Structure 1
Amino acid sequence: MSSLTRVRRSLVARAAAIASAMLLLSAGLFTGTASAHGSVIDPPSRNFGCHDRWGGDHLNPDMATEDPMCWQAWQDNPNAMWNWNGLYRDNVGGNHQAAIPDGQLCSGGRTEGGRYDSMDAVGDWRAVDVSNDFSVHLYDQASHGADYFQVYVTRQGFDPLTESLGWGDLELVEETGSYPPATDITFDVSAPNRTGRHIVYTIWQASHMDQSYYICSDVNFTG
């Protein structure tokens, strides 16, 4: 099944989940709203992956053992997964390293009032296998377009299972030009001389305003 097919199916499940959430909202038990923005779906961002795998079954206690990093994220703030497409900051002015402190890269500097803090948790996030030459696929429901993408990959020797991510752990491997508004944007990336577990860190600078998205994807380089 393609990533886009999974997205569209997950959006159907998400719609049902949001309907249930609205019922909880009326009872004062749930806060937050859905946002029509976007994220990297391949290799999947941490919160999109959690939503894709568990959005239709997020209360299943088996998640605690089968997918423990997603479990801690769902327990911390379910809105981080329902709003998998809303991890951004406004008005950064391109000065990303000044805006996002070390240890907070995956949450966009604890953006949105800390909604995405669990994305910074260190541990065994579910990783997807990729080769050293791979593609990044952005799914953008709002078709914002892009001024540019910057794609970083952790340096060989960094251990994402035990180390907190900082800017010094990353190497810029791709900086693109602009893209016109589109629902799907895909581009190729090369990260040579890497094996094993790594984090792909994508900055998407949207075109409709000064809005920057910060996206952690967990991968396993197979060579």
Structure 2
Amino acid sequence: MPRHRTTRRTLGSLAAVAVVATALVAIPTVAQAHGGLTNPPTRTWVCYQDGLAGGQAAGEAGNMRPTNAACKNAFADNSYGFYNWFGDLLGTINGRHETIADGKLCGPDSKFAAFNTPSSAWPTTRVTPGQTMTFQYAAVARHPGYFTTWITKDGWNQNEPIGWDDLEAEPFDRVLNPPLREGGVAGPEYWWNVKLPSNKSGKHVLFNIWERTDSPESFYNCVDVDFGGGGGVTPTPTPTRSATPTPTPTPTRTATPTPTPSVTPTPSVTPSSTPSPTPSVTPSPSVPSDSVCELEVDTSSSWQGGFQGNVTVFNATMEPVNGWEVKWKFANGESIQQAWSSVTTQSGSTVTAKNAAWNSTIGHHNAVSFGFIGSGTPRQVTDATLNGQPCIIR
């Protein structure tokens, strides 16, 4: 799919994982995070507001009772995307957005799959071609990174889930580390001024990626807009907090702080290559969706009878993990011949990898990576755990 290559070429290769040396915690309580657009509002934020408004109208303040048809369908599919509207993310994506399948851009994580569903009922923000507006992005947790926004092409099929070829070839806005301020509708927020495309009319979707530079994690937002002018969201959700203060003048975009690399980054897919089918974006059905970790075993190269594997372990909690042991099972008789950046052993089909002395800490919503040489023909691994707790397999 050629649009994948355009996206990859635009985003480029980002920094390696930063180690956060903090308190000693073995496996902390899960807390998914950490951000999303509130202006113009992403589908998850506006449906969250719709659900709160419906609950309040029904005399059940604090409960979710969406009334918008598209939001009701999303809630019925999986309420996770409402209570965690800011958690539409992939933890181990590491800039390889082109591996997200067509039709899954708005909700690449299966917990947000309903937000991919095409519908004329999605609450829509009215905008004017060429207008400058302030983008506001809730910083539920704060991280450095790029915010990049595309828009759908003229004539895109509104009756199909959005695919890469539905987007314009290049983003119309990209900003690195915009300023942060307090007092947004959802608390602290990033903000920056954006000039919308001047040659659009009618309904479109803005597709935004927040790509962290201190972690392989990225966040995904789909925003429904109508270039009919006038501003505002239709229908208008009932706000639960006061409006964001009037923005100050256009910010100076700052440079990314240089993270302290702790591991060798996972080899990236080159712009001209076809994405490898080995990684899957579908969680293992036997693993709870709200898991403490994600694990990806990526085959970077292979030959007759052998392959090179790269493992990324993502800590999906708000606390650091100090001292890690990762286990998984091979499904096709594979065996590890040698490994680096971990102490790795194998018994039958079960592989156990422990941290090296220098990479024992996995910061919150950060990751470690290590590699190995294996024999056999690789398939999707199973039964992954981090310190005994189940992991989603990517």
Match of 1:158 in 2: 156
Structure 1 residue 222 displacement after superposition: 2.1
Match of 1:186 in 2: 191
Q: What are the superposed Cα offsets for residues 177-202 of structure 1, whole Å, 9 maximum, x if unpaired?
A: 23466631122132121111110100
Deviates more, 1:150-159 or 1:132-141: 132-141
Q: 4+ residue stretches of structure 1 with deviation over 4 A? A: 58-61
**Partner-residue secondary structure (3-state), 1:216:** strand
Letter in structure 1 aligned against 2:117: A
Match of 2:102 in 1: 102
Q: Decide whether the 8 Å contact of 1:149 with 1:177 is kept in 2.
A: yes
Q: Decide whether the 8 Å contact of 2:179 with 2:191 is kept in 1.
A: no
**Alpha-carbon distance in structure 2 between the residues aligned to 1:168 and 1:40:** 23
Structure 1 residue 56 displacement after superposition: 5.0
**Alpha-carbon distance in structure 1 between the residues aligned to 2:195 and 2:216:** 24
**Alpha-carbon distance in structure 1 between the residues aligned to 2:97 and 2:189:** 24
Give the alignment's TM-score, normalised by structure 2.
Answer: 0.43
Letter in structure 1 aligned against 2:138: Y
**Alpha-carbon distance in structure 1 between the residues aligned to 2:136 and 2:180:** 14
Answer 1 or 2: which has greater helix percent: 1
**Partner-residue secondary structure (3-state), 2:118:** coil
Give the alignment's TM-score, normalised by structure 1.
Answer: 0.73
Match of 2:87 in 1: 86
Q: What are the superposed Cα offsets for residues 12-57 of structure 1, whole Å, 9 maximum, x if unpaired?
A: xxxxxxxxxxxxxxxxxxxxx7634110111111111111121253
Name the larger-Rg structure: 2
Structure 1 residue 208 displacement after superposition: 3.9
Residue 81 (structure 2) pairs with residue 76 (structure 1): no
Structure 1 residue 206 displacement after superposition: 2.4
Structure 1, unaligned runs of 5 or more: 1-32
Structure 1 residue 210 displacement after superposition: 1.9
Q: Decide whether the 8 Å contact of 2:212 with 2:218 is kept in 1.
A: yes
**Alpha-carbon distance in structure 1 between the residues aligned to 2:33 and 2:53:** 19
**What is the aligned counterpart of 1:149 among 147, 150, 161?**
147
Match of 1:175 in 2: 174
Structure 1 residue 207 displacement after superposition: 3.9
Match of 1:46 in 2: 43
Letter in structure 2 aligned against 1:152: W
**Partner-residue secondary structure (3-state), 2:173:** strand
Letter in structure 2 aligned against 1:92: I
**Cα distance change of structure 1 residues 75 and 60 upon mapping to structure 2, 3 Å threshold:** farther
**Partner-residue secondary structure (3-state), 1:71:** helix
**Cα distance change of structure 1 residues 116 and 60 upon mapping to structure 2, 3 Å threshold:** farther
**Alpha-carbon distance in structure 1 between the residues aligned to 2:104 and 2:83:** 20
**Cα distance change of structure 1 residues 169 and 135 upon mapping to structure 2, 3 Å threshold:** farther
**What is the aligned counterpart of 2:112 among 91, 106, 116?**
116
Letter in structure 2 aligned against 1:87: D
Structure 1 residue 135 displacement after superposition: 3.1
Query: Percent identical across equivalent pairs?
Result: 27
Structure 1 residue 90 displacement after superposition: 1.6
**Alpha-carbon distance in structure 1 between the residues aligned to 2:57 and 2:76:** 12
**Alpha-carbon distance in structure 2 between the residues aligned to 1:116 and 1:212:** 14
Residue 218 (structure 2) pairs with residue 212 (structure 1): yes
**Cα distance change of structure 1 residues 167 and 135 upon mapping to structure 2, 3 Å threshold:** farther
**Cα distance change of structure 1 residues 185 and 157 upon mapping to structure 2, 3 Å threshold:** same
**Partner-residue secondary structure (3-state), 2:209:** strand
**Alpha-carbon distance in structure 2 between the residues aligned to 1:159 and 1:67:** 22
**Alpha-carbon distance in structure 2 between the residues aligned to 1:208 and 1:59:** 39
Q: Decide whether the 8 Å contact of 1:131 with 1:221 is kept in 2.
A: yes
